[in-house]
């Protein structure tokens, strides 16, 4: 863990590893940063000076350490700067001290300590959640013996060897025997980075097994979606216990590897149907059902959810099929960007409208959205319109969010992404 490890790109090509640049930001950015935002956009940068030890005239390497300064040179914080990204600066610290190995170690230790406190003993858990852990650009998910790491920005990518070494150091004593990189996500394109994945440290088997709320799940850390599993819904899945009435039928739409579906079966559902468009996910869901001795009550279907819901809405209306006691809707983010919000709301409304018609009177709809750009009020308004158009009267029974290992930064509403409502159909 030398300086060269810590700042590979910079140390190898440009000047001393402890150098940084001074980034002066516009008044609106200064105000936002002072209110707790960690982000400065490219258009908000007034001037970049070579600053501390950066060789004059050298081009900047992406992810270079930056001191962020406001009007009259007022110090705002330290972070890293990617001249090639629209989201150019991410702050790491409000202190004017170098972002060195000791800094990263302290930050990682704090993130780990919090998980230990809030989900003691959990071995399937998000250990680092980017901005909300004041570690922008870094995600670490633990799946039993393997921790999966994502370097999402140039700032973390440039320090990947240091961060991997620190994580390895901190996680081995907790029983982690392999570190795997899954930086194969499209957001890296915005940083000018290629996709990358592979073993960082230790041994990484093709699949690992995790335990969640007393159930077992196989996780494909190398090839599965995102880092392999959706840990953010853990407590929401446990909450299904309150909504599954023994003997009822349950529908889990966008079921992925069967997590909600298997919880429903575990809590007493007589029959569960899971629907997902990914053949790999559906196959894995079947294996997970068998692993938990629930295969006889679970059926997983590979289908487009929009088509499937339309078809079953017709079947239920024609009394060819009975409605469900509980329906779960956990779709992917329909609004990956601000521009997609309108279209996304139409998509959310369509699936919720149809799903409400599939719920038996007195039954429940558990409905989620993980789109950052659709905040709770907008989501709730969409549900109101879906209910109105479907002619279904419903109560809002619960409003929930992500499990506590996926916190949001209070000062950055954009870090709060997962919302989940429980509705109860009346009449």
Give the footprint of ligand SAH on this chain (CB under 6 A). Answer: 225, 230, 233, 254-257, 259-260, 276-278, 281, 304-306, 330-332
The SS3 of residue 389 is helix
- 21, 200, 370, 383: the active-site residue: 370
Q: Considering beta carbons, is residue 143 or 230 the nearer one to ligand SAH?
A: 230
Q: Considering beta carbons, is residue 160 or 249 the nearer one to ligand SAH?
A: 249
User: What minimum distance in Å lies between the beta carbon of 269 and ligand SAH?
Assistant: 15
Is-catalytic flag, 255? no
Q: Considering beta carbons, is residue 176 or 328 the nearer one to ligand SAH?
A: 328
Q: Considering beta carbons, is residue 170 or 281 the nearer one to ligand SAH?
A: 281
Instruction: Give Cα 340 distance to the centre of its chain.
Output: 19
- Which among 373, 379, 383, 389 has a CA at the least distance from the CA of 423? 383
User: What minimum distance in Å lies between the beta carbon of 129 and ligand SAH?
Assistant: 17
CA dihedral sign of residues 243, 247, 249, 254: positive
User: What minimum distance in Å lies between the beta carbon of 377 and ligand SAH?
Assistant: 23
Using CA atoms, how far apart are residues 354 and 425, in angstroms rounded to an integer? 13
Using CA atoms, how far apart are residues 15 and 358, in angstroms rounded to an integer? 64
Q: Considering beta carbons, is residue 321 or 333 the nearer one to ligand SAH?
A: 333
Compute the CA torsion angle 372, 377, 379, 385 (nearest 10 deg): -160
Tell me how crowded residue 189 is: count the other CB atoms within 10 A of its CB: 10
Q: Considering beta carbons, is residue 77 or 228 the nearer one to ligand SAH?
A: 228
Strand-pair category, 249-253 with 271-276 = parallel
User: What minimum distance in Å lies between the beta carbon of 303 and ligand SAH?
Assistant: 7
Looking at residue 1, the DSSP 8-state letter turns out to be -
Two structure tokens written together for 393: 């009267």
| Matching residue, tokens 């899945």 | 237
| Matching residue, tokens 């990263």 | 104
User: What minimum distance in Å lies between the beta carbon of 355 and ligand SAH?
Assistant: 13
User: What minimum distance in Å lies between the beta carbon of 104 and ligand SAH?
Assistant: 31
- Which among 153, 42, 46, 166 has a CA at the least distance from the CA of 92? 153
- Which among 102, 109, 107, 19 has a CA at the least distance from the CA of 64? 19
Residues forming the active site: 370
């Amino acid at each position: 863990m030398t300086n060269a490890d810590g700042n590979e790109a910079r140390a190898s090509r440009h000047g001393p590893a402890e150098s940084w640049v001074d980034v002066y930001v516009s008044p609106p950015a200064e105000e936002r940063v002072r209110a707790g935002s960690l982000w400065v956009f490219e258009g908000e940068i007034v001037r970049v000076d070579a600053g501390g030890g950066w060789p004059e005239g050298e081009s900047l390497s992406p992810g270079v350490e930056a001191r962020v300064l406001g009007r009259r040179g007022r110090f705002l914080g330290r972070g890293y700067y990617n001249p090639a990204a629209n989201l150019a600066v991410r702050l790491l610290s409000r202190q004017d001290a170098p972002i060195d190995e000791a800094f990263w170690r302290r930050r990682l230790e704090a993130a780990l300590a919090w998980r230990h406190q809030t989900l003691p003993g959990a071995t399937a858990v998000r250990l680092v959640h980017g901005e909300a852990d004041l570690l922008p650009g870094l995600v670490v998910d633990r799946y039993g013996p393997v921790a999966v790491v994502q370097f999402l920005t140039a700032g973390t990518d440039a320090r990947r060897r240091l961060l991997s070494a620190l994580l390895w150091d901190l996680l081995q004593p907790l029983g982690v025997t392999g570190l795997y990189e899954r930086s194969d996500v499209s957001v890296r394109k915005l940083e000018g980075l290629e996709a990358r994945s592979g073993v960082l440290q230790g041994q990484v088997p093709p699949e690992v097994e995790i335990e969640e709320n007393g159930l077992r799940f196989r996780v494909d850390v190398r090839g599965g979606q995102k880092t392999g599993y959706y840990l953010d819904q853990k407590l929401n899945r446990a909450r299904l216990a309150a909504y599954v009435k023994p003997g009822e039928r349950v529908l889990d739409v966008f079921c992925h590897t069967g997590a909600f579906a298997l919880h429903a079966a575990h809590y007493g559902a007589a029959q569960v149907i899971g629907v997902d468009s990914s053949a790999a996910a559906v196959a894995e869901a079947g294996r997970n059902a068998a692993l938990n001795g629930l295969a006889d009550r679970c059926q997983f279907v590979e289908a487009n959810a929009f088509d499937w819901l339309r078809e079953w809405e017709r079947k239920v209306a024609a009394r060819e099929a009975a409605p469900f006691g509980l329906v779960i809707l956990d779709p992917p983010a329909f609004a990956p960007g601000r521009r997609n919000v309108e279209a996304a709301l139409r998509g959310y409304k369509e699936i919720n409208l149809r799903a409400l018609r599939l719920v038996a009177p007195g039954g429940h709809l558990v409905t989620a959205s993980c789109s950052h750009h659709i905040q709770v009020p907008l989501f709730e308004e969409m549900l109101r319109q879906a209910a109105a158009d479907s002619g279904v009267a419903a109560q809002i029974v619960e409003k929930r969010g992500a499990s506590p290992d996926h916190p949001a930064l209070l000062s950055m509403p954009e870090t709060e992404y997962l919302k989940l409502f429980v509705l109860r159909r009346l009449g």
